[in-house]
Chain A
């Protein structure tokens, strides 16, 4: 049995693509809710500054807190994306495992 690069790549892509798409959908849903919460805080902060409830120094500190919260959300998205890619690579390797190991007569892919 010979190995064909095009066939192997096609099988790997078919295994990886649904995982990548699902990962993107999950990340979008997470980001949407988290950024909505942060946007609500910004609006509320604007109202508080206007009404004099907080001074300018406090407003700047709140804005800094908000920037940190946004960075934390984005870092989670980065981590989730890495996990999705990792899962896609493993699924892609798994789908060609049988064909590759059979063709080579040894377990190249464990």
Chain B
């Protein structure tokens, strides 16, 4: 009981501090003359760059599905890797972009994994394997785009599933 009273009393003592923090926060906002921003702004380069990577990946997946004897194509992976490196640098340079930066890294890991799968895979390439990889990469791309579009704040529809 004594412990509860002590805790309650300690909380009461903190109220002026909490109010002071609230007033300071509002004053800081007033001084800044802007609304609270916890995550970065929409970036058109990231949006278009990620969509472009998806388009190129879809083309490769389509080739593998329509012709399962399509050989491993190192050029495809080199191209995707260079595009992802540019996007990673872009995301790293933007303010409050840690989340999208992490997502770009995860997307690169997925392509790295699929590159190894593709290299190991004897032809014909099983269509189910291609479809699985395609689904996973598409899920990641659409997740990044969903967040990116939400960063338009108000201009974008509310978050919803991608399919």
Q: Which residues of A contact B (CB under 8 A)?
A: 5, 22, 26-27, 29-30, 32-34, 37-38, 40-41, 44-45, 47-48, 53-55, 57-58, 61-62, 64-66, 68-69, 71-73, 75-76, 78-80, 82-83, 85-87, 89-90, 93, 100, 107-110
Contacts and interface: CB of A to CB of B under 8 A. Distances in A.
A35 to B, nearest CB: 9
Given A37-B135, A37-B139, A83 B151 contact: yes
A82 B39 contact: yes
B136 interface: yes
Given A44-B128, A62-B113, A89 B121 contact: no
Interface of A is mostly: helix
Given A40-B135, A48-B129, A75-B103, A82 B38 contact: yes
Given A26-B160, A38-B139, 15 more contacts: A41-B135, A58-B129, A64-B109, A65-B136, A69-B143, A72-B107, A75-B143, A76-B103, A79-B100, A82-B38, A86-B36, A90-B35, A108-B27, A108-B30, A109-B26
Contacts of A85: 38
Give the residue among B116, B135, B153 with the most A Cβ atoms within 10 A.
B135
A24 to B, nearest CB: 11
B150 interface: yes
Closest 4 pairs (CB-CB, A-B)? A33-B161, A72-B140, A76-B143, A68-B106
Q: Please indicate which of the listed interface residues A37, A64, A72 has the most CB atoms of chain B within 10 Å of its own CB.
A: A72
Interface residues of B, number: 51
B29 A109 contact: yes
A107 B37 CA distance: 20
A38 B136 CA distance: 7
Contacts of B135: 37, 40-41
B73 interface: no
